[in-house]
Amino acid sequence: MLPVFNRRSSLPSIVDDFFGKDMLADFFDGYQTGISIPAVNIIESKDDFRIEVAAPGLDKNDFSIDVKNNVLFISSEKEETNENKDEKLMRREFSYRSFSRSFSLPNTVEPDKITARHKNGVLNIHIPKREEAKEKPPRKIAIN
């Protein structure tokens, strides 16, 4: 019998420490559920954070983005109906696609100024930092 290795690191990443882990992914970790959770990139710059959600096949009206108690919720629900009619045979198939992701926001951001845009199957969420949290340029201190 071959040993089984878990590829997930036991050490938390910097992003997990800062934003908190994705609640849904941890709940279903290790189980085959048939749920498809889109990939997410989190990018930090000196002025903001950006979250990129890869969700091909969805348009901007399929998404819902909410902030409650300093937690950012991103979700989508889409219903598709395919119907084929022949002379004697009719087939109708329904499919539902949905996902939900949630991220704890740090206290250094402006939750009231979060914006989002959708382009080419990618949802981009812009989360600006508070002025006091932005990186300041170095300054010279004079010695008296």
Strand order in the sheet with 40-44: 40-44, 48-54, 122-128, 115-119
> Does the pLDDT at position 11 exceed 50?
no
Q: Is residue 125 part of a domain?
A: yes
pTM of the model: 0.64
Domain span holding position 70: 19-28+36-132
Separation between Cα atoms, residue 28 and residue 48, nearest integer Å: 30
Among 103, 40, 20, 41, smallest CA distance to 66 is for 103
Non-local CB neighbours of 120 within 8 Å, separated by 6+ positions: none
**Chain mean pLDDT for the chain:** 77
> Does residue 13 belong to any structural domain of this protein?
no
Model pLDDT for residues 69-95, shown as the tens digit of each residue: 999 999 988 777 666 666 666 666 667
CATH of the domain at 103: 2.60.40.790
User: In whole angstroms, what is the distance from residue 75 CA to residue 61 CA?
Assistant: 11
Q: What is the pLDDT of residues 109-123, one digit of tens each?
A: 999 999 999 998 899
Evaluate the CA torsion angle 22, 27, 35, 100 in order and state its sign: negative
